[in-house]
Structure 1
């Protein structure tokens, strides 16, 4: 919710924090408001490998408590800070713990599920993200539209406070890796396949964020529907994401390669369909449901692929997946804003997303071709 609720509230944030620009050019104001998405993503990109590498030696359940508390505080800052610039700083700070938080959670779940079911464990953790898109994001969008966009982030801060307590009392003790050092963890960057996989996540999955970041104007400006329809469309997106995430975890455990390649190809196709069929709210809603499903099939798939190729650098690899996806978040939001600002209409981000998905597919194909020429190192499962 902390990452996605802002996407349905960009018009509200733009009119509140950028009133002068919004009055003269709504497109430019929306494009600049999209920077808040990019700043959060930048925080994830920087924080995920840095924090994960530093805390690899510590008990994972305790690390999760500290990170959840930090997410509580930084999201509360978004609620109270008055200007666009200060809100931008708070979004950057809130992004810093994000990748390590979800990455460490994924390691704990994968370990609990055991060999042969690691992708299912990753999918279980990521289900929290998708459920947020069914319940939290639409609810937050509704509250933000009715009571001001800051109300949505007040809910986010409250949820993280509850999560901190829940982790404290219910997540079992889970040891870290006492012998690991930051230098050892950074060895992951010497593995070529890690870079390929990060590229798939950053570029290929960036297509999803090019679409998702501007879903609100797509509903209101292109389909001509009232603002209250936006949360309903977001619910459909979240339902698709929840189903796709669970199916993706199952498929990735069966055949990760096919799931990754077919998922990227399918994502390019549905984005193109969205661009063509978004002028009618019924077809838009149906395609959005499919977009959510296909995109989320890739989430546990990319995470598991990265853990497969990272060797014994599991802590930093699990977190870096979120760095890659948030590079995609930043890239997609930025490029989507650029094509809107250029006057190419609100359907242009969907075409941008299709192009990014195809680029991700090419990277994945190249990755497997290189891997076929040189046998990969044995996969080590995190303990």
Structure 2
């Protein structure tokens, strides 16, 4: 399948869409492997580094904080750069951070390496999503974004379980070797298969930063952070919950991660399709379903086979939020597509850190690990209560549909 690039390029050439999107999605896959595998290998990591479980959870937060810090800074700094070049350079930085993680000698240096690895995460997704949506055309931008994000969901389905299994039979740091290889391959394929996607003619760092004045942008970020945080109160400690509380054999942890990934792939594709016309509705419905999934997982955690049903639904509903939020954020600040798109992943990783901290707080307060998803459900419920007034309902819904041609 090809789409004409002529409306955006003087060359008038046509480019194959699928190879280009797959190359960009491979970078998303690499990011997903590092983001979701560390949870399954957390028991081995804390033992090897000589720290307790709550401190191990901070390893997850360190990466997430890197995303939060790096997404707006790098997205604004690369605003005038070709999207393909941006994606390639950001993936180089991502690979270097993981190379450092392979050889980090202690807990402190591992925290630093995880932080550096997280810096390019959000800006990469922004550049990749903008490139894919540009190639696919405005009428299919929600689906184009979901195709890139499907790499992230594919990592939950295949990459994270495989890397977890590899870490269990070899060493938990083997995950960093795998991700370094995937990131390096992404750099090569992006420059080979993705056509140049120039930034808009009027793009500038100042113009991108002007998006920070958008009240709608900040309202959407608040909803994304609070609504999504709950799922990481579950996912961060999923290995401990299913094994210690549910009695599941530790060897089946990769299977549980794969179940979450199945839901993630389905949710991403469904959310992308719904986001084409009804992004706000999609966000509200999915946060409600996520709240229910987290609560039901917590209640059924003593029976791991039953609780896996809600692992599936939690993965689907959480993943469906991302393409819809991407559309809402970009429409909230159409003059700043790179920055707004990066804030999507900055917000979700702020939620990642928040969820890990909530879980650590529950444990430090003396509660059992099975309480962490219930705490996550309570946080997601707050996000649901805030979603309707902050997202503005029909007003933003109309702007989201009408504003398709205004974005990059």
Alignment TM-score, normalising by the size of structure 2: 0.88
Q: Where does residue 153 of structure 1 map in the other structure?
A: 176
Q: Is the 8 A contact 2:300 2:306 kept in 1?
A: yes
Deviation at 1:16, TM superposition (A): 0.5
Deviation at 1:145, TM superposition (A): 1.3
Structure 1 residue 328 corresponds to structure 2 residue 343: no
Distance 1:205 1:73 in 2: 28
SS of alignment partner, residue 368 of structure 2:
coil
Q: Where does residue 117 of structure 1 map in the other structure?
A: 140
Deviation at 1:64, TM superposition (A): 1.1
Q: Is the 8 A contact 1:111 1:382 kept in 2?
A: no
Structure 1 residue 364 corresponds to structure 2 residue 387: yes
Q: Where does residue 90 of structure 1 map in the other structure?
A: 113
Alignment TM-score, normalising by the size of structure 1: 0.94
Distance 1:7 1:357 in 2: 20
Q: Where does residue 6 of structure 1 map in the other structure?
A: 38
Deviation at 1:369, TM superposition (A): 3.9
Q: Is the 8 A contact 1:58 1:177 kept in 2?
A: no
Matched residues, number: 374
2:211 alignment partner, one of 182, 188, 194: 188
Distance 1:76 1:203 in 2: 32
Taking the TM superposition and a 5 Å limit, the aligned residue runs for 1:1-383 are 1-18=33-50, 21=51, 29-369=52-392, 372=395, 379=403, 381-383=406-408
Summarize deviations over 1:31-90 as a string: whole Å, max 9, x none. 111111111111111111111111110111111111111111110110111100000000
What root-mean-square deviation, in Å, do the aligned CA atoms of Structure 1 and Structure 2 show? 1.8
Q: Which residues of structure 1 form unaligned runs of 5+?
A: 22-28
Summarize deviations over 1:290-344 as a string: whole Å, max 9, x none. 1111111111111111111112111110011111001000000111111022221
Q: Where does residue 24 of structure 2 map in the other structure?
A: none
SS of alignment partner, residue 173 of structure 2:
helix
Q: Is the 8 A contact 1:220 1:227 kept in 2?
A: yes
Distance 2:391 2:44 in 1: 44
Distance 2:345 2:138 in 1: 22
Deviation at 1:179, TM superposition (A): 3.4
Distance 1:337 1:362 in 2: 24
Query: Mean Cα displacement is larger for which, 249-258 or 361-370?
Result: 361-370
Deviation at 1:370, TM superposition (A): 8.2
Q: Is the 8 A contact 2:98 2:114 kept in 1?
A: yes
Distance 1:293 1:250 in 2: 14
Query: Mean Cα displacement is larger for which, 139-148 or 179-188?
Result: 179-188
Deviation at 1:376, TM superposition (A): 6.1
Deviation at 1:178, TM superposition (A): 4.7
Q: Which residues of structure 2 form unaligned runs of 5+?
A: 1-32
